[in-house]
Amino acid sequence: MYLGFDSSTQSLSGMIIDPVSGEIVLEKSVNFGNDLPHYGAPSGFIPNGTAGEVHSDPRMWLEALDEVLKRLSAEIDLSCVKAIGGSGQQHGSVYLDETFEDRIRNANVADHLASILAPSFSRKTSPIWMDTSTGQQCREMADAVGGNEEVCRITGSVAIERFTGSQIRKFYQVDPAGYANTAKIHLVSSFMCSVLSASHAPIDFGDGAGMNLMNLAQCAWDAKMLEATAPQLIKKLPSLAASGSSCGLVGAYFVKKYGFSPSCKVGVFTGDNPASLVGMGATAAGQVVISLGTSDTFFAGMNAAHTDPRGFGHVFGNPGGGYMCLVCFRNGSLAREALRDELSTDWNAFDTGGLSQTQPGNEGNMMLPFYGPEITPRRDFSGPIRQGSEDFEAGHNATTQIRALLEGQFLNMRLHTDWIGIAPEKIRLTGGASRSNGIAQVVADVFHAPVERLSIANSAALGAALLATTTDGYDLLALQKVFCQPSQDAMILPAPGVNYDVPLKQFAVLLGN
Ligand code: XUL
C-alpha cells in the first residue's frame, strides 16, 4: 500500500492506495475549522489579518497530522504502507530554528507533534498563498534583478506577493533577529515531509518554482534571485529534488505511535496543484484541468516552458517530467460560500435545478465575482461588482445572482488563460465544487468544451499517493491509466447553440481590460 497526504488550506487528508488492485483503500480527512476549532481558523487561516496579511498556525497542521494518522491507524494496520508521498498548499512557508531535527528525532510518543515542535518555530505563524501583503518586497526584488521580465525569465513567474521569496524578504525586514535565528525555511509540502522523515527534506521542482527563487531551466536555486531576497538565504533553503524521489525512511515517532514499518520510505512532497496534475492523469502535455477548491486553478502539462506576457500565469516543474502552467484565482470556494451565505441558501441552488431557472448569458446581468483581494487580476476588491438590471444590481433574485457569480468566475478564468495557447478540447474538473452538475455545466458552456470528472474528488491526495509508488519504481503513466479514468456518466457537454464570445468581451470591459 502507498499513502498520500494532502495538506491543503482548509483540511489535511490521507489516502491509501493499492497499486496492484488499482483501488483506493482508505481515505481520512481532518477539517481545520470543524475538527480543530481551538485554532480560531474556521477557513484554515487566522482571520482579520491587517494590510493583506494571511497567516496560519503551523501547529494546527501538526495536530491535524496526528489526528489523521490516528483515524487511519484505527482502521488499517499501517505497517502495510511501503512509502508515503504528499502535497501541500503552495507558496506557504515554515520557519524552523536549529533544534527541529533533534526535537522530531527524540520525540516522545506520549506527546503530540504540535507541542513537541512548537518551540522550533522561529516565526510563529506561516504566511500562506492568500497573503497579498508583500507588494513592496516584490517591487524591490524585481528592481534588484533588472525588472519583472527578468524575474519571469529566470523563475517562470513575475514577482508575486504570495510567492515565498517576497514573504521571506518581508520577514527578514520586519524581524531580522527572527530571520537570523532561522536555520531552515520550508514550504508547507517540504515541512510535512521533513516531519514525517525526521530530517530536513528537499523541495521539489513543482513547488520550488512557486517561490520566485528557483531557476526554472536549471532546476536549481538562482543566486541572483536569492541575493535580491535576503542575506545568507542559500544556507537556509533545503536542497531541490524531483518529486516522488525517496528522501529517507519514516521517523521513529510514527513507527512507534502509529505502527508504520521502520522500512517505510518517504518520497519528496510537491505542491497541491502539481500533485493534482498527477491525480487527474494529466501530466502529459495539453490536458487541461480546472480545480475548484479554496482557490480555483487552471493548469496543464506543457512540453516547453512558455510564460504569460501579462504576468498572471506561472510555469512550474511537472512531477511527470517537463513543465506545467498554472493560473490561480483567489476567489474560488470562499466567494461561492460568501454568496451562498449572503443569500441564505444552500448548494442545491448552485446545481442544475437552481441554475435552470436562468439562461446562459443571464440576460446581460454580469458580476465581477470578487469578495476580497484577487490575484488574477491583481486587485484589492472588497466585494462583488454588479452590472445589469436595477433588481440585479440591488442584489435581488438569488438564481440570477448565482449564475452571475459562476459565469463571472469562469469568464475571468477564460480571459486570463488564453496565453497558454491551448483551446481545450476537453476539460477535466476536480475539487469539491466539481461534483455539482450545475457548476460543471457553466464551465462546459463558458469554455465551449466537454467537461469530464473522475470518480474521486481529492486528486491532490491521489496524486501524492501515486507519486509515493514511484519510490518503488512504479510507472506513473501506467498507474494514471488505472486510477484516473473519467467516469462516462459524469461527462457534461456544452449546451447546443450557447456561445460566450460576446459576454467574454463585455466582461473584459467591465473589468477595465
Ligand atoms: C497556486 C495557489 C493555490 C494554492 C492553494 O499558485 O496559490 O492554488 O496552491 O491551493
Q: Which string of DSSP letters, residue by residue, matches 279-314?
A: HTT--SBT-EEEEESSSEEEEEEESS----TTS--E
**Percent of the chain residues topping a pLDDT of 90:** 93
The type of residue at 55 is: H
For residue 489, name the pLDDT band (cuts at 50, 70, 90). low
278-297 per-position pLDDT tens digit = 999 999 988 899 999 989 99
pLDDT the model gives residue 444 = 97
Tell me which residue of 195, 189, 44, 68 sits closest to 125, measured CA to CA.
44
Assess whether the C-beta atom of 91 lies below 6 angstroms from ligand 1: yes
Assess whether the C-beta atom of 212 lies below 6 angstroms from ligand 1: no
Assess whether the C-beta atom of 162 lies below 6 angstroms from ligand 1: yes
Please state the rounded mean pLDDT for residues 323-350: 95
Q: Is the pLDDT of residue 457 over 80?
A: no
State which ligand 1 atom lies nearest to the alpha carbon of 314: 6
Q: Say which residue the cell 517540504 belongs to.
A: 190
- CATH number of the domain located at residue range(s) 281-456+474-513 in this protein: 3.30.420.40
Assess whether the C-beta atom of 10 lies below 6 angstroms from ligand 1: no
Q: Is the pLDDT of residue 343 over 90?
A: yes
DSSP 112: -
Mean pLDDT of the residues in the chain: 96
What Å distances lie between residue 491 and 292, 427, 437, 459, CA to CA? 17, 10, 9, 17
Distance CA 98, CA 143 (A): 32
What Å distances lie between residue 472 and 91, 206, 244, CA to CA? 28, 21, 10
Which backbone phi and psi does 90 adopt, to 5 degrees? -80, 160
In residues, how long is the chain? Answer: 513
Assess whether the C-beta atom of 299 lies below 6 angstroms from ligand 1: no
Q: What share of the chain is helix, strand, coil (3-state, %, to 5)?
A: 40, 20, 40
- CATH number of the domain located at residue range(s) 2-268 in this protein: 3.30.420.40
Greatest CA span in the chain, whole angstroms? 66
Tell me which residue of 3, 7, 459 sits closest to 192, measured CA to CA.
7
Residue 38 neighbours by CB distance under 10 Å: 7
What Å distances lie between residue 265 and 4, 6, 196, 253, 262, CA to CA? 12, 17, 10, 14, 8
Determine the 3-state secondary structure of 246 from DSSP: strand
Domain residue extents for the chain: 2-268, 281-456+474-513
CA of 262 to the centre of ligand 1 (A): 33
Whole-model pTM above 0.85? yes
Which of 54, 93, 129 has most ligand 1 atoms within 8 Å of CB, for mutation? 129
Q: Do domains 2-268 and 281-456+474-513 have the same CATH topology?
A: yes
Which of 295, 296, 299 has most ligand 1 atoms within 8 Å of CB, for mutation? 295
30-49 per-position pLDDT tens digit = 999 999 999 999 999 999 99
pLDDT the model gives residue 28 = 98
Please state the rounded mean pLDDT for residues 389-413: 97
Which backbone phi and psi does 49 adopt, to 5 degrees? -65, 150
pLDDT the model gives residue 353 = 86
* Ligand 1 atom 9: residue of nearest CA: 90
Q: Is the pLDDT of residue 421 over 80?
A: yes
For residue 425, name the pLDDT band (cuts at 50, 70, 90). confident
Please state the rounded mean pLDDT for residues 493-506: 97
CA of 498 to the centre of ligand 1 (A): 31
Distance CA 109, CA 11 (A): 24
pLDDT the model gives residue 301 = 94
Please state the rounded mean pLDDT for residues 200-218: 98
State which ligand 1 atom lies nearest to the alpha carbon of 326: 6
Please state the rounded mean pLDDT for residues 370-386: 95
For residue 303, name the pLDDT band (cuts at 50, 70, 90). confident
